[in-house]
Amino acid sequence: MTSSRPTLAVAMVGHAFMGAAHSQAWRSAHRFFDLPLHPAMALVVGRDAARAAEAADRLGWAESATDWHAAVVRDDIDLVDVCTPGDTHAEIAIAALAAGKHVLCEKPLANTVAEAEEMAAAASTAAERGVRAMVGFTYRRVPAVALARRLVAQGRIGEIRHVRATYLQDWIADPEAPLTWRLDKQRAGSGALGDIGAHIIDLTQHITGDRLHEVSGQLETFVKERPLVATGVGLSGTASTERGSVTVDDAAVFIGRFAGGALGVFEATRFATGRKNSIRIEVNGSAGSLAFDFEDMNVLELYDAAEPAETAGFRRILVTEPTHPYAGAWWPPGHGLGYEHGFTHQVVDLVTAIADGTDPAPTFADGLQVQRVLAAVETSSDTRTWQQIPS
């Protein structure tokens, strides 16, 4: 498809589950939204030449390559999209920013606070040259979540007292599920805490417009050894007969205090049998409450405490009206959206910010702050103490 808009040439590094989700966003964003720049899916990079070529063909990239170092300095690339495991986020993102490329980096930003600090510093230096960086906390861009933030900012639920958030999965509840990279601290940084706990930290801070300032938590690894991966990657690897150690948490629970005074309760686990990708958030304020459930993601529940007791109750708002965030670009009211649309909205906001010359949110500094919360929960679990989050 030709476009009169200037082109934004994208190179994506990594092409597994997240690469596929990002690819559909790059393919579709300009077909539904009036973007100021036209994304061109120029290059996909993977370690194995044959698999990268197959991914290019299947996901819609013009070319494939195996060397990300060469890719991020190419003159014909404007933006690098980092969809690799956490252990390579820092080096790829920093090299790309140094080469003057805009960067979109999957969450959590890095595997350690030190890496995240380097990335945030690199992003701030790059911003002085007009180069932009964003971390991919994609659930922020679910219309119901964006509406929740808008309602809190408008004061619709008053002063916030309680924040309750769970992110539940069960894909390794079976002790014979193989030891994929997500269970290796070297590659993933942490387990359920960083992979999915990071999302609910970002989501609750985003919805409330507030930040956690202290936490107390516990991590647990229920299954300490698992079969090594025989074939495949990511969530879909198959088991071999040899076993290896799980070096990350299977589950994380923590409580926290927000700077504005609210109390927070959080749970992230890969052992909630029957829960596949369940994100639930409830915020209780002095004037009402909001509740979101990703399994019913087109709905936001609102309780208005000012309504007469006879008729008061949680109302289901179907967040598909043209006036709702992002929804007007899609289908007529009632024709809902899914998991992938958050990634499309992420591309829309990133491309718009690049064209406007503004910093896209969440910035690498926001990603660093989430990383500090993750580290504080880990330290709290190790030391059985409350931990402050440095601001």
Residues 6+ apart with CB under 8 A from 166: 200, 266, 267, 268, 278, 279, 280
Query: CB of 142: closest distance to ligand SOE in angstroms?
Result: 11
Query: CB of 269: closest distance to ligand SOE in angstroms?
Result: 11
Residues 6+ apart with CB under 8 A from 153: 209
Q: Give me the residue whose beta carbon is nearest to ligand SOE.
A: 195
Residues 6+ apart with CB under 8 A from 128: none
Q: Which is nearer to ligand SOE, 56 or 196 (CB)?
A: 196
Q: Which is nearer to ligand SOE, 19 or 288 (CB)?
A: 19
Element (H, E) at 244: strand 238-245
Q: Which is nearer to ligand SOE, 37 or 172 (CB)?
A: 172
Q: Which is nearer to ligand SOE, 180 or 387 (CB)?
A: 180
How would you classify the pairing of strands 299-304 and 315-318?
antiparallel
Q: Which is nearer to ligand SOE, 196 or 370 (CB)?
A: 196
Chain residues that interact with ligand SOE, rule: CB under 6 A: 17, 169, 195-196, 277
Query: CB of 310: closest distance to ligand SOE in angstroms?
Result: 41
Check if the beta carbon of residue 53 is closer than 8 Å to that of residue 19.
no
Query: CB of 331: closest distance to ligand SOE in angstroms?
Result: 23
Query: CB of 100: closest distance to ligand SOE in angstroms?
Result: 28
| CA dihedral sign, ordered 283, 284, 290, 294 | positive
Query: CB of 228: closest distance to ligand SOE in angstroms?
Result: 20
- Sheet with 387-388, strands from edge to edge, namely 315-318, 299-304, 288-293, 278-285, 160-168, 263-269, 251-258, 212-220, 387-388
Q: Which is nearer to ligand SOE, 136 or 285 (CB)?
A: 136
